[in-house]
């Protein structure tokens, strides 16, 4: 892959030239300790397994603000006063960052990349102009687009939802944005297109027709699928579950809710699920649980890699640093046969108190190292540790005889009764949970 040091006229991160792999003994904070892109793990390189992406929104558009205070982070690309000039500067900074970090992919919302105009047509034009520049930058740097999406939740018009808004005119605005974002994704060779529900949920049951709203959501996804396919989008559509925030209850609550919804509406052939770690924990699940539910359904699409804070009940979108969690996640990914057209997108931002430019690199380096180690440990657990073999052995009684007949639907309830009567009381077989937990720590 060809890499350029920086693009455009100005260097935004002069303190970092590139991020080398230096290994575990290195004391250079701006080097990878575990992520060695060309290192082969099993049948693929780390780069091919992990398919890392940087997100445009947190990394270049969030400036440290929280509900209690304004921006703390000052970025040179925000200096131009004219919005399109600032968008160009931001794009130069973004491609400089991507290439110096050494990730193959990035992700964006329409409004991250191009400012909203005074009319639908002007917004479309702004985005098309920035997409042309992004296409050039991709050409120069070898960067690829993992996914595009539309921000149909920030503008005040979407306060009551986008596709699920009770007013047709707002639904129409959402449709216009999704159409333009699909055009942009196709123009940039995007491998996936994401729908995160934003305000698609309800705040009060007393004023919401939830049945109608959910039908409208399905209708929008069907229209987007049909339009995307008509303009040559051959990638995967993804829905990203989240249980709450910004609405009280979001329709795409968790993976199993989304899987049921996609199947019910005939969308499962074109759509898969984008699992975000922090959304999993907000739903009361673990990250690995959500990945497993998708893998079981054949609908594991992609990952938003981040984490929440165990003491804070909201979507803190921190960089993932928990190795145990990364091992649990990579076990699911490896068992599912990999991420396919998906990837590991860092939907994460540096903390409000992290105000040095290099902190953005440090966050990503930590996340990449965490998943690189998670990959190696998970691979070793499966190959050498026999983790899945001991799990599968628990189900041996279903491999032949009446167990196989049970799975094939060839037994009746009366047959189970007769079997129980014939075998008499049984002595339960140990689940060996402590043994497998010890095995995981042994490989970490």
Q: What distance in Å separates the CA atoms of residue 199 and residue 158, rounded to the nearest whole number?
A: 7
**Which of 273, 309, 268, 307 is CA-nearest to residue 291?**
273
Nearer to Ni ion, 37 or 274 (CB): 274
Question: 3-class DSSP state for residue 91?
Answer: helix
Task: Report if residue 251 touches ligand XLS, rule: CB under 6 A.
Answer: no
Q: Among this protein's residues, is 356 annotated catalytic?
A: no
**Cβ atoms of residues 332 and 288 within 8 Å:** yes
Task: Report if residue 369 touches ligand XLS, rule: CB under 6 A.
Answer: no
Residue-level length of the chain: 444
Task: Report if residue 276 touches ligand XLS, rule: CB under 6 A.
Answer: yes
Binding positions for ligand XLS, 315-334, rule CB under 6 A: 315
**Cβ atoms of residues 381 and 440 within 8 Å:** yes
Binding partner of residue 149 among Ni ion, ligand XLS, none, CB cut-off 5 to 8 Å per kind: ligand XLS
DSSP for 329-389 reads HHHHHHHTT--TT--EEE-----TT--STHHHHHHHHHHHHHHHHHHHHHHHHHHTS-HHH
Q: How far is the CB of 177 from ligand XLS (least distance, A)?
A: 12
Task: Report if residue 272 touches ligand XLS, rule: CB under 6 A.
Answer: no
Handedness of CA 213, 214, 215, 220 (dihedral sign): positive
Which listed residue (36, 92, 110, 112) is catalytic?
Answer: 112
Nearer to ligand XLS, 302 or 332 (CB): 302
Handedness of CA 216, 221, 224, 226 (dihedral sign): negative
Task: Report if residue 315 touches Ni ion, rule: CB under 5 A.
Answer: yes
Using Cβ positions, the residue closest to ligand XLS within the complex turns out to be 196
Binding partner of residue 110 among ligand XLS, Ni ion, none, CB cut-off 5 to 8 Å per kind: none
Binding partner of residue 177 among ligand XLS, Ni ion, none, CB cut-off 5 to 8 Å per kind: none
Q: What distance in Å separates the CA atoms of residue 48 and residue 41, rounded to the nearest whole number?
A: 10
Task: Report if residue 304 touches ligand XLS, rule: CB under 6 A.
Answer: yes
Out of 47, 110, 347, 369, the residue judged to bind ligand XLS by CB under 6 A: 347
Q: Among this protein's residues, is 315 annotated catalytic?
A: no
Cα 107 to the center of its chain, rounded Å: 10
Binding positions for ligand XLS, 109-138, rule CB under 6 A: 109
DSSP for 113-165 reads HS---SSHHHHHHHHHHHHHHHHHHHHHH--EEEEEE---SSSGGGTT-STT-
The interface mask with Ni ion, positions 344-363, x = CB under 5 A, is ---x----------------
Nearer to ligand XLS, 149 or 318 (CB): 149
Q: What distance in Å separates the CA atoms of residue 226 and residue 234, rounded to the nearest whole number?
A: 11
Task: Report if residue 240 touches ligand XLS, rule: CB under 6 A.
Answer: yes
Q: What distance in Å separates the CA atoms of residue 368 and residue 35, rounded to the nearest whole number?
A: 6
Task: Report if residue 304 touches Ni ion, rule: CB under 5 A.
Answer: yes
Q: How far is the CB of 201 from ligand XLS (least distance, A)?
A: 12
Question: 3-class DSSP state for residue 319?
Answer: coil
Task: Report if residue 276 touches Ni ion, rule: CB under 5 A.
Answer: yes
Task: Report if residue 149 touches ligand XLS, rule: CB under 6 A.
Answer: yes
Q: Which stretch binds Ni ion (CB under 5 A): 13-21, 27-35, 201-209, 315-323?
A: 315-323
Q: How far is the CB of 189 from Ni ion (least distance, A)?
A: 21
Residue 104 has φ and ψ, to the nearest 5°, of -85, -20
Residues lying near ligand XLS in the complex (CB under 6 A) are found at 109, 149, 194, 196, 240, 242, 276, 304, 315, 347
Active site residues: 109, 112
Residues lying near Ni ion in the complex (CB under 5 A) are found at 276, 278, 304, 315, 317, 347
């Amino acid at each position: 892959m060809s890499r350029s040091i920086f693009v455009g006229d100005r260097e935004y991160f002069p303190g970092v030239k590139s991020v080398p792999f230096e290994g575990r003994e290195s004391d250079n904070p701006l080097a990878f300790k575990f992520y060695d892109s060309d290192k082969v793990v099993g049948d693929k390189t780390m780069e091919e397994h992990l398919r890392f992406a940087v997100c445009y929104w947190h990394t270049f558009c969030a400036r440290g603000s929280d509900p209690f205070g304004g921006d703390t982070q000052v970025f040179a690309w925000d200096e131009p006063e004219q919005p399109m000039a600032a968008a160009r500067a931001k794009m130069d900074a973004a491609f400089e960052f991507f290439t110096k970090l050494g990730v193959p992919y990035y992700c964006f919302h329409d409004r991250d990349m191009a400012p909203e105009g005074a009319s639908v047509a002007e917004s479309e034009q702004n985005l098309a102009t920035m997409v042309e520049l992004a296409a050039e930058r991709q050409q120069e740097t070898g960067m690829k687009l993992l996914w595009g999406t539309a921000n149909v939740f920030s503008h005040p018009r979407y306060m009551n939802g986008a596709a699920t808004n009770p007013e047709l005119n707002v639904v129409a605005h959402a449709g216009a944005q999704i159409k333009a974002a699909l055009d942009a994704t196709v123009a940039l060779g995007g491998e996936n297109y994401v729908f995160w529900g934003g305000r698609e949920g309800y705040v009060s049951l007393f004023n919401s027709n939830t049945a109608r709203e959910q039908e409208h959501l399905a209708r929008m996804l069907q229209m987007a699928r049909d339009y995307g396919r008509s303009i040559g989008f051959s990638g995967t559509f993804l829905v990203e579950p989240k249980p709450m925030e910004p609405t009280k209850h979001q329709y795409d609550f968790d993976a199993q809710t989304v899987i049921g919804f996609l199947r019910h509406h005939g969308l499962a052939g074109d759509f898969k699920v984008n699992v975000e770690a922090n959304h999993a924990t907000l739903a009361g699940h673990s990250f690995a649980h959500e990945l497993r539910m998708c893998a079981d359904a054949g609908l594991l699409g992609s990952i938003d890699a981040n984490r929440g804070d165990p003491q804070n009940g909201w979507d803190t979108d921190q960089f993932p640093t928990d190795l145990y969690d990364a091992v649990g996640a990579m076990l699911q990914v490896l068992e599912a046969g990999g991420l396919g057209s998906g990837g590991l997108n860092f939907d994460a931002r540096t903390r409000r108190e992290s105000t040095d430019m290099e902190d953005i690199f440090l966050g990503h380096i930590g996340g990449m190292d965490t998943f690189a180690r998670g990959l190696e440990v998970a691979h070793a657990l499966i190959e050498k540790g026999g983790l899945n073999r001991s799990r599968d052995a628990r189900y041996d009684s279903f491999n032949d005889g009446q167990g196989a007949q049970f799975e094939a639907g060839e037994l009746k309830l009366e047959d189970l009764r007769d079997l129980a009567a014939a075998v008499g009381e049984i002595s339960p077989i140990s689940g060996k949970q402590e043994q497998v937990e010890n095995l995981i720590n042994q490989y970490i």
